[in-house]
Structure 1
Amino acid sequence: MEKTAAGAGRRGRPPGEAAQSHAAIMDAVYQMLQETPVRDLTLEAVARRAHVGRPTLYKWWPSKSALILAMFHERIGSELAPSSDGTVEEILRSKVRFLIRQFHGFFGKVMADLIAEGQSDPGILSELYERHMRARREATVAEIERGKANGEFAADLDPELLIDAIFGPIYFRLLLRSAPLTEQYGEELVTQTLRGARPAAGA
């Protein structure tokens, strides 16, 4: 890996004419990652596809990791799960269905590739969590706290552990492909996990 991605996000969207080069680079990375895994992508190949020089890439992104993460955040990681006005359980089920659908597309491929690359470059994992996962996780924690307050969940439930118990197995199946990752699996996973999250009878 070239340089750590920690703190190495895009150095700012270029103004004016340079915006065309920026868009061409993002297009090139997006298209190439549909043809090759992250580990095989090179800055030289991106520069050729985008018709720019390598110095242009390094001007905005200090490493291949930073470039790929920038494309991920701009093009495929910015969509949020649909909101719901129902119960917290319904919201959790909606989030699970949405994530599983995403994991069956280009988003899932790039996510798996980035996690794999992050095993040798921890900066990738840190950047991925901070820019993509943290806000979503915090929003889910807030929903679960609401469920505790309205009696839907037990008052002593740990929201962080519940999130890990529901979403961890989904990432497990994405990465190891140990079994099919289906929406039915997601529904059954939520049902099973929430059995231990309910208030005790008579409480």
Structure 2
Amino acid sequence: MAPRSERQIFRATLELLAARGYEGLTVEGVAERSGVNKTTIYRWWPSKAALLAAALVEADLLVLEPPDTGGLRGDLEALVEGMVALLTRPPASDVAVAALGAAVHHPELAEASRRFFADRFAREAAVFERARRRGELPATADPMLIMDLLAGAVWLRAIFRGLPLDEGFPAQVVSAVLDGSATR
């Protein structure tokens, strides 16, 4: 398949997911919106779940490139700022929420979700490798746990609690994770 057609199909898939949710997403709708015949879509992806899984992993709508600010704290704050933007600004926020909801009920999408987060963590690993080389992070630190704590804070506040994330939130959450919250 031509890269341009694939991008159009993925964009149409994510737009329809954001607008209609998983139940309203159809291969016919994607075909119409992307200008591609539905048999072409079925040739590459056997189901709408497979199509959405590919779109989530391959499309660049939800991509956060790992920053390099020169320090771990700055890199993590920039990552949190990117997550905040993704989870609070349509269409990315609508896609993320709809995909998460659909993954709960569809095993194929749950697997895609795992691949998505594995891919994102592999990209973020460079932040931690640089921090270790600079002596900012001990070898015993668990980068995945750090990212889970940061991302979890963003998801919980923005999506599950529906609270606004002010400009100081990224620094606040990074400080809580890196510095702790209890008095010593």
- Give the TM-score band, short-chain normalised: 0.7 to 0.9
Structure 1: 5+ residue runs without aligned partners?
A: 1-13
Structure 1 Cα separation of the partners of residues 127 and 33 of structure 2: 44
TM-score, scaled relative to structure 1: 0.71
Query: Per-residue displacement from partner, 1:43-66 (whole Å, max 9, x unpaired)?
Result: 233334445554332111111122
Match of 1:161 in 2: 145
Matches within 5 A, 1:11-30: 14-15=1-2, 22=6, 25-30=9-14
Structure 2: 5+ residue runs without aligned partners?
A: none
Matches within 5 A, 1:48-197: 48-50=32-34, 52-72=36-56, 73-77=58-62, 79-81=63-65, 83-105=67-89, 106-130=91-115, 132-148=116-132, 150-154=134-138, 156-196=140-180
Structure 2 Cα separation of the partners of residues 146 and 26 of structure 1: 33
What is the letter of the counterpart of residue 53 of structure 2?
A: L
What is the letter of the counterpart of residue 102 of structure 1?
A: L
Q: Which has the higher helix share?
A: 2
Query: Does structure 2 retain, via aligned residues, the 8 Å contact 1:37–1:113?
Result: yes
TM-score, scaled relative to structure 2: 0.77
Q: 1:62 to 1:181 in 2, by over 3 A?
A: farther
Confirm or deny that 1:38 pairs with 2:22: yes
Give RMSD over aligned pairs. Answer: 3.0
Q: 1:194 to 1:41 in 2, by over 3 A?
A: same
Query: Per-residue displacement from partner, 1:86-142 (whole Å, max 9, x unpaired)?
Result: 111111111111121122221221111111100011321322332x32233134345
Of all paired residues, the percent bearing the same amino acid is 27
